A and B are shown apart, each in its own frame.
Chain A
Amino acid sequence: MNEVARKPVGRFVPVIVFAALVAFFVIGLVWNQTHDARFVPSPLIDKPAPEFRLPRLEQPTQFVTKTDMLGKPYLLNVFASWCFACGDEHPVLMAYRDKFGIPLVGYDYKDAPQDARAWLDRHGNPYHEVITDQSGETAINFGVYGAPETYLIDAKGIIRYKHIGPLTPDVIAKELEPKIRALDQEGST
């Protein structure tokens, strides 16, 4: 009795510890629901995009290089005909292709060109230009590990933003469009 009277706070220590554990548990659960650990920020942000030289989907004898693309910002959207989530993203790209205000370049990833062509014929082609990386070797340098992925590359060839997973109207409005607008302002000043 005496002991308890001397330090009443001590009685609540187990309760407090338990509450802290519960809090950790809940935070962990919520965090995992809203964050995918696989969607890591790319270490390439604000670094020069890797050099590439890839054939056009429509004219495979013509190559597009990073140097060709310098001078104006563009979006590079990694997709593939085998990629399920790309099908989800596709209508969004169709709706936004002309609203971005910058070219949307398709990056056909580890795909047979005829499959990609058939896929674009069937669903519609949202891209201003499509380049193909059949082996996926260049994609390693971009740090691609799952389609769809979208890169915003500025006029100097620097990667300014990357989104992993399908673009949604929400992501475009909250993340991508502000980044594009920021580039516009840089360009005008």
Chain B
Amino acid sequence: MKRLLAILLFAFALALSAAAFAIDPLPFKDNAQRDRFQHLTSELRCMVCQDESLLASNADFAKQLRRQIFDMMQRGKSDKEIKDWLVERYSTFILYDPPLAPSTIALWFGTPVILLAGGVVVAVLLRRRTRPASAIAEDTGDDW
């Protein structure tokens, strides 16, 4: 049993490392730059894959854009400049974090508004439920 567990763990670790090294090696200047790169590409959508980030995807498209983003970072471009550059070409769909725009108002405020509306409905229902109860209590009080 223990042995089986060890084998399973080993297989799992192997699978994890395979996933980690599926990404093409890029010559980063330092760890900070690599972290920045990984954070940035994790926030960008691989346009050709279903629900995968540019960081995670092994698609040719993602590899090429990773290379492009890496090059732009070497040229001293900021995250915002890189994102703007991508949005110019691929629209805001490439951003996982959608910007606040007329087309995304429902997305940003829809949930709080529905939550608020639900809260109002609950409050109204509760009030209605307690009012007749107190009326009944008064009635019975009179009878007693």
Contacts and interface: CB of A to CB of B under 8 A. Distances in A.
Interface of A: 2-3, 6-7, 10, 13, 37-38, 40-44, 110, 136-137, 140-143, 145-146
A38 B89 CA distance: 14
Nearest to A3: B132
7 contacts: A3-B132, A38-B93, A40-B93, A43-B87, A43-B91, A146-B47, A146-B48
A140 B68 contact: yes
B128 A145 contact: no
A140 B91 contact: no
Contacts of A143: 89-91
Nearest to A2: B132
Contacts of A10: 125, 128
Chain B interface mostly: helix
A43 B65 CA distance: 18
Contacts of A146: 47-48, 61
Chain A interface mostly: loop
Interface centre among B68, B89, B125 (most CB of A within 10 A): B89
Contacts of B142: none
A18 to B, nearest CB: 14
Interface centre among A44, A110, A140 (most CB of B within 10 A): A140
A38 B91 CA distance: 11
Interface of B: 47-48, 60-61, 64-65, 68, 87-91, 93, 121, 125, 128, 132
Nearest to A6: B132
A168 B128 CA distance: 59
A136 B91 contact: no
Given A10-B128, A136-B64, A141 B91 contact: no
Contact of B91 (A6, A40, A137): A40
Contacts of B65: 140
B128 to A, nearest CB: 7
A38 B49 CA distance: 9
A141 B89 contact: yes
A41 B60 CA distance: 22
Nearest to A13: B121
A140 B89 CA distance: 7
Contact of A38 (B47, B88, B125, B132): B47
Nearest to A136: B64
A13 B122 CA distance: 12
B103 to A, nearest CB: 11
Contacts of B87: 43
A136 B93 CA distance: 20
Contact of A43 (B47, B48, B89): B89
A46 B128 CA distance: 57
A145 B48 contact: yes
Given A2-B132, A140-B89, A143-B90, 11 more contacts: A10-B125, A37-B93, A43-B87, A110-B60, A136-B60, A137-B64, A140-B68, A145-B47, A145-B61, A146-B47, A146-B48
